[in-house]
Amino acid sequence: MQAGLPWWLAPALSLSAFAGSLELLLVGMMASVTPLAAVALTVLVVNFRHVFYAFNFPLHLVKQPAAKVYAVYAMIDEAYAVNASLPEHERSAPRLLAMQIACETYWVGGGLLGVALGAALPAPVKGLEFALCALFTVLTLDAFCSRKELPSLLLAGASVTIALFLTPAVAMFTVLLLFVGLLLARHFATARKAADA
Amino acid sequence: MPSTPYLIAVLSIVFTITLALRAVPFAVLGRLRDSAVVRRLAVWMPVGILAILAVTALHGTITKDSHGTWYALLAVAATVVVHLAFRRRTILSVGAGTTLYVVLLNSL
């Protein structure tokens, strides 16, 4: 609420998006009244990774239709990560749903607690927004430790540098499009090499 | 402050796109599974996206308080060291890095 938005927006955003990194980006975009088309494209690009989660998410375990819909809606990074690391015989529908509901309660509750704390503090603590940067740094580190994808990291670094210098106003946009473009180029380069060999 | 209809429009756009991105792949899973492009992107994307988010967040912090550039870089380094030294405990690493930055920025 340091961004000058109404209090109900935190829980509403947590419920409608239910994706941490995106919500934090959206707060900034809404505070500066970004055009809706730009918001839509950002959501599409940032959350595009969820498309890939379907590959090893144990949705087939959930039989009840309403529960199935909920399981898809609540398929966040954490739910995916925890389930992907569970051995096959320990997975079950009740366990999956209980875990997702716990995640959501914690998330929405945390958002409300943040609003309350923010209102109670006499002045905004300067520099607290660094927590976001630290969190992403840690997540990057974790992702890199489990999958040593150095080329991706370098391509991402190149994209972000170029975007910040050339189009600082819409950096997030440019960087994600650039990154996906570079990955596609890498894909076709790899495919050609494989065809030559 | 942005108008309430605007905020509600944003919320509905966000909800629709996010849910669609999570649901559609289950519907077309069979076709997607065979695509080499999709399989590669699934492996390549997450690390890069997270790194991009980390850099843009850092850039935002630095632009906001430009005299704190070195503190921010130091705090990122501290976050990484704590994370690797104490077996990847996210809350501990984020807390340590953020505390260091807030203290440096406000006291120096």
Residues 16-35 of chain B whose Cβ lies under 8 A from any Cβ of chain A:
17-19, 21-26, 29, 32-33
Residue A84 has pLDDT above 60, yes or no: no
Nearest CB among A51, A160, A184 relative to B55 is that of A160
The pLDDT of residue A1 is: 45
- Chain A contact present for B51, CB below 8 A: yes
The Cα B79–Cα B54 span in angstroms is 12
Greater confidence (A187 vs A104) lies with A187
What 3 state SS string does A123-171 have? Answer: CCCCCCCHHHHHHHHHHHHHHHHHCCCHHHHHHHHHHHHHHHHHCHHHH
A141 and A195, same domain (yes or no)? no
Selection from B40, B56, B3, B78 nearest residue A31 by Cα: B3
* Interface predicted TM-score of the whole assembly (ipTM), two decimals: 0.79
A126 and A71, same domain (yes or no)? yes
User: At B55, which amino acid appears?
Assistant: V
Residues of A in contact with B106 (CB under 8 A): 126-127
- Evaluate whether A111 touches A14 at the Cβ level (below 8 Å): yes
The pLDDT of residue A149 is: 81
Q: Tens digit of pLDDT for each residue in A23-69?
A: 666 776 776 677 777 777 777 776 666 666 665 565 656 666 666 66
Q: What percent of chain B shows pLDDT beyond 70?
A: 90
B53 and B25, same domain (yes or no)? no
Query: Does a structural domain hold residue A137?
Result: yes
Query: Does a structural domain hold residue B40?
Result: no
Q: Tens digit of pLDDT for each residue in B29-51?
A: 666 666 777 777 777 877 787 78
The CA-to-CA distance between both ends of chain B, in Å, stands at: 33
Nearest CB among A29, A53, A137 relative to B54 is that of A137
Q: How confident is the model at residue B90 (pLDDT cuts 50, 70, 90)?
A: confident
B20 and B51, same domain (yes or no)? no
A157 and A192, same domain (yes or no)? yes
Query: Does a structural domain hold residue A2?
Result: no
What domain range includes position A124? 9-147
B58 and B91, same domain (yes or no)? yes
CA distance B29 to chain A (A): 7
A176 and A130, same domain (yes or no)? no
Query: Does a structural domain hold residue B101?
Result: yes
Query: Does a structural domain hold residue A102?
Result: yes
Query: Does a structural domain hold residue B30?
Result: yes
B29 and B61, same domain (yes or no)? no
Q: Tens digit of pLDDT for each residue in A120-138?
A: 565 666 777 788 788 888 8
Query: Does a structural domain hold residue A1?
Result: no
What domain range includes position B4? 1-34
User: At A48, which amino acid appears?
Assistant: F
Residue A83 has pLDDT above 80, yes or no: no
User: What's the domain count of chain A?
Assistant: 2
Query: Does a structural domain hold residue B41?
Result: no
Nearest CB among A33, A135, A183 relative to B44 is that of A183
Query: Does a structural domain hold residue A13?
Result: yes
- How much is the average pLDDT of A65-79? 60
User: What's the domain count of chain B?
Assistant: 2
The pLDDT of residue B77 is: 93
